Amino acid sequence: MQQAFRASIFHCLADPGEKAAPSAVEFLEDGVLVVDDGVVARIGSAEKILPTLAVEVAVEDLTGSLILPGFIDCHVHFSQLDIIASYGEQLLDWLNRYAYPEEARFSDKEHAAEVAEVFVDELLRNGTTTALVFATVFPQSVDAIFEAAAARNMRLVAGKVLMDINCPDELSDDPASAYNDSKALIERWHGKGRLGYAITPRFALTSSEDQLAAAGRLAAEYPDTWVHTHLAENTAEVEEIAAQFSWSRSYLDVYDHFGLLRERSIFAHCLHLDAADRALMAEKGGAGAFCPTSNLFLGSGLFDLKSMSDAGVGVGLATDVGGGTSLSMLRTMSEAYKVLHLQDQSLPASRALYLATLGAAQALGLDHCIGNLEVGKEADFIVLNVDGSSATARRAAATSSIDELLFALIFLGDDRNISATYLQGQCASTFNR
Ligand code: GUN
Ligand code: ZN
């Protein structure tokens, strides 16, 4: 079935870079997006496309709003929804004091299912159409997040957390159960509809060498699954890793040693790396998740986007809720700008959007099907509306270019500015209209 949507349309075709290359984006002031069976069939100016549409194709008139590709959150913990903004600690104390006790509640499938439903709806309300998600150590929590995503036809990648040392007993698995449970979950969920599986060792600190080896075996047996973990987030963590794996050259070397650095490996944070790490990550095809709100909130450090990009490492933007403080990718983009500004790096609006859409899709190896609105891609998109708040309406009225408007919306916008979120051309939710 064909559908058409008329609005201003903006999407990235490539990385606009620090200088906001205009050729890397497409902006249609009065555009039409034609969707056929959930896939983008055509995109172009209203003037060109409207006269060619068959009479039976209904055109949804969203004139005055802006269509963007759906946002992609490259690293987020659904089990931490209820501990966002927990006061006063850096990573290792924050995990012990807040994250671990909260995650213990997810042994209860009913609780996990209730949170998963709310979490997925919150993603959609914020315009996020795809996410790479940490569940918890409990397989039933993985079922819960996949069931919630499947019910909404959302493209989502998730996995069971592996952790067998240096953690509370009630959250601990072991190398054999980590392997067997992950394998069963891969067989049950990976490639089912729009779902994908990520092998998810929490971080090297909470996995024995036997467990990391088991995770590496899975990563080799199932090469099209993802590997999803944390890397070099906090200086105290990095010191403990160096002591625990005294044979290693670096934190990344630990993952590499166990076969966990490969295409489709996504490492959250990547704050305390050296040039050799970045070169190795680029060579092996791993990618980084840039989590600015979390890095600021937990006092972890500043992500060096320029060094990662110069080394050829793919980077996607991520909220890292609940270390991160918002599920909104608009909020996350604005904090990314500030983190880079502090390092004399610039982040034009088009590149911020790239990191949250096409760049994120490339980092996840999903750019063949999502990330922008090119013909043939899955029609996951959002409708952004400048009237979401009086602040955005006033500021928008004072802008004179699309770059200025996008930049202002990144800073002043939030979920109130997302009027609707579409998954494969179907309206998943309509808000604030
Ligand atoms: N490192 C290991 N576990 C976590 C977690 O839950 N959140 C963050 N931000 N870092 C981690
Ligand atoms: Zn995290």
If one residue of 84, 92, 230, 244 were mutated to test the ligand 1 pocket, choosing by the most ligand atoms within 8 A of its CB, it would be 230
Which pLDDT score is estimated for 106? Answer: 98
CA distance 167 to 381: 40
Q: Which domains does the chain have, with CATH numbers?
A: 2-70+372-430 (2.30.40.10), 71-327 (3.20.20.140)
The token duo for 88 is 């006063």
Which pLDDT score is estimated for 412? Answer: 98
Query: What ligand has the least distance to the C-alpha of 237?
Result: 1
Which pLDDT score is estimated for 430? Answer: 74
CA distance 310 to 288: 13
Q: Scanning the structure block, which residue is given the tokens 């095809």?
A: 285
CA distance 371 to 299: 30
Which residues, in sequence order, are CB contacts of 390 under 8 Å at separation 6+?
Answer: none
Residue 411 beta carbon below 6 angstroms from any ligand 1 atom: no
39's enclosing H/E stretch is strand 39-45
Residue 155 beta carbon below 6 angstroms from any ligand 1 atom: no
Which pLDDT score is estimated for 47? Answer: 98
Q: What is the DSSP letter of 303?
A: -
Q: What is the DSSP letter of 4?
A: E
From the CA of 233, give the closest atom in ligand 1. Answer: 10
Point out the residues of the chain with pLDDT beneath 50: none
Residue 99 beta carbon below 6 angstroms from any ligand 1 atom: yes
Residue 324 beta carbon below 6 angstroms from any ligand 1 atom: no
Q: Residue 199's closest CA among 176, 170, 171, 224? A: 224
CA distance 260 to 212: 8
Burial of 220 (C-beta count, 10 Å sphere; 0-12/13-18/19+): exposed
What are the angstrom distances between the C-alpha of 66 and each of 29, 154, 246, 378, 398? 9, 21, 52, 18, 17
Ordered DSSP codes for 49-99: HGGGS-TTPPEEEEEEEEEEEPEEEEEEEGGGGGGSS--S--HHHHIIIII
Residue 203 beta carbon below 6 angstroms from any ligand 1 atom: yes
Torsion angles phi and psi, residue 245, rounded to 5: -120, 70
Whether the Cβ atoms of residue 106 and residue 114 lie closer than 8 Å to each other: no
Task: Tell me which residues have their CB within 5 A of the ion that is ligand 2.
Answer: 268, 320
What are the angstrom distances between the C-alpha of 336 and each of 289, 319, 330, 341, 363? 12, 10, 10, 8, 17
Query: What ligand has the least distance to the C-alpha of 228?
Result: 2
Q: What is the pLDDT of residues 147-186, one digit of tens each?
A: 999 999 999 999 999 999 999 999 999 999 999 999 999 9
The token duo for 372 is 């922008």
Q: If you measure from the C-alpha of residue 391 to the centroid of ligand 2, how many angstroms do you get, rounded to a whole number?
A: 32
Angle at 304 between CA 271 and CA 124, to 5 degrees: 80
Angle between helices 109-125 and 139-151 in degrees, nearest 10: 40
Whether the Cβ atoms of residue 233 and residue 189 lie closer than 8 Å to each other: no
The token duo for 232 is 């070099």
**CA-proximal residue: ligand 1, atom 11 (nearest):** 230
Find the radius of gyration of the CA atoms of the chain: 21
Q: Which residues pair with 118 in a beta bridge?
A: none
Q: Residue 259's closest CA among 224, 226, 215? A: 215
SS3 347: coil
If one residue of 75, 91, 162 were mutated to test the ligand 1 pocket, choosing by the most ligand atoms within 8 A of its CB, it would be 91
From the CA of 294, give the closest atom in ligand 1. Answer: 9
If one residue of 80, 92, 95, 133 were mutated to test the ligand 1 pocket, choosing by the most ligand atoms within 8 A of its CB, it would be 95
Q: What is the pLDDT of residues 301-350, one digit of tens each?
A: 999 999 999 999 999 999 999 999 999 999 999 999 999 999 999 999 99
CA distance 33 to 116: 31
Angle between helices 139-151 and 175-189 in degrees, nearest 10: 20
- Report residue 352 CA to chain centroid gap: 13
Residue 264 beta carbon below 6 angstroms from any ligand 1 atom: no
Residue 135 beta carbon below 6 angstroms from any ligand 1 atom: no
Q: What strands, in cross-sheet order, belong to the sheet with 59-69?
A: 39-45, 25-36, 2-12, 59-69, 381-384, 418-423, 426-430
Q: If you measure from the C-alpha of residue 366 to the centroid of ligand 2, how many angstroms do you get, rounded to a whole number?
A: 21
Torsion angles phi and psi, residue 149, rounded to 5: -70, -40
How many other C-beta atoms are found inside a 10 Å radius of the C-beta of residue 134?
A: 27
Strand-strand pairing, 2-12 and 59-69: parallel
Strand-strand pairing, 161-162 and 195-201: parallel
pTM for the complete prediction?
0.98
Residue 194 beta carbon below 6 angstroms from any ligand 1 atom: no
Provide the H-helix boundaries in 98-138.
100-104, 109-125
Q: What is the DSSP letter of 138?
A: S
